[in-house]
Structure 1
């Protein structure tokens, strides 16, 4: 059995404060770490997308953010990918006239996930690809990739026995992005 090794996750001071503020007496450091790494369940991601924000509210957040114009274009394109569909880094980058690596970097910096669905972008061969800046190592999925798979399964995306997404990637973007 392969040993899974992942990089330590950076936790902001505000995230640490939220955990310690709600910390019941006797909570160990390991328990705090597990609490911070709790994966997003498909149900909670669905609720967030369906209940919390409309498409126009999400677009307003993107537009008003102090991020680069390129990142805003990437995130706007993501919002057009239908629930239950995936696209690839290559198709998205071709649509934007950029490189797959630049698209991946913009996805990694997406502060609006899961409402801006970066989990719907997979590798060109339909393998899961990265998520939150993390990739599989030595054939073992990271926790972030397990979260990505859960989000996609929660949207109805199907996988083959090898872990690849079944079906063709979506490429139906509107012709003009602002």
Structure 2
């Protein structure tokens, strides 16, 4: 499986490809580095996104995350959340069916964070969790990068 790593403001990230689709984005530097056309384009897109996420729009390359049908349904909804906006686990549960807890579990298992923007989903009374290497600090950083104004009253579970 081809992998390609990049330096980012959040630390090293590694993209993985299978059958011409991105299947994961992981924190850390991958052991093997293969510059396929898709991975190179995805790396370049991410570099530009970190410079100005509002100028990039949605990730334009094919994604194929591994997961259950329910998880994939939730991840598809995540891709529709515009840059700089947020939703809650409860609001997402109302749209896809299920409970806020089941949505939270699916969001937490997202294998392609940032590209499938799980950082845009918040808890009703706070930030919620984040599965990135820096945890909630990374989530807050990503939201602020996108211009989201976090309320000073909003509990930030760090």
TM class by shorter-chain length? 0.5 to 0.7
Aligned residues of 1:45 and 1:114 also touching (Cα < 8 A):
no
The residue aligned with 1:6 is: none
More strand by share: 2
Structure 2: runs of 5+ lacking an equivalent = 1-27, 32-45
1:45 to partner: Cα distance: 8.3
- CA shift, 1:84, in A, is 0.5
- Find out whether 1:130 has 2:129 as its counterpart: yes
Q: Which residue of 1 aligns with 2:101?
A: 101
Tell me, in whole angstroms, the C-alpha distance in 1 between the residues paired with 2:69 and 2:85: 25
Higher helix share: 1
Which residues of structure 1 form unaligned runs of 5+? 1-14, 19-42, 135-142, 166-178
| Residue 72 in structure 1 maps to residue 72 in structure 2 | yes
C-alpha RMSD of the superposition: 3.1
How far apart, in 1, do the equivalents of 2:82 and 2:98 lie? 22
**2:153 equivalent in structure 1:** 162
Residue from 45, 49, 63 that aligns with 1:61: 63
Q: Count residues with an aligned counterpart.
A: 113
1:158 and 1:68 map into 2 onto residues whose CA distance is 33
Structure 1 outlier segments of 4+, above 4 Å: none
Higher normalized contact order (CA 8 Å, seq sep 6+, divided by chain length): 1
Instruction: Classify 1:51/1:120 alpha carbon distance in 2 versus 1 (closer, same or farther; 3 Å).
Output: closer
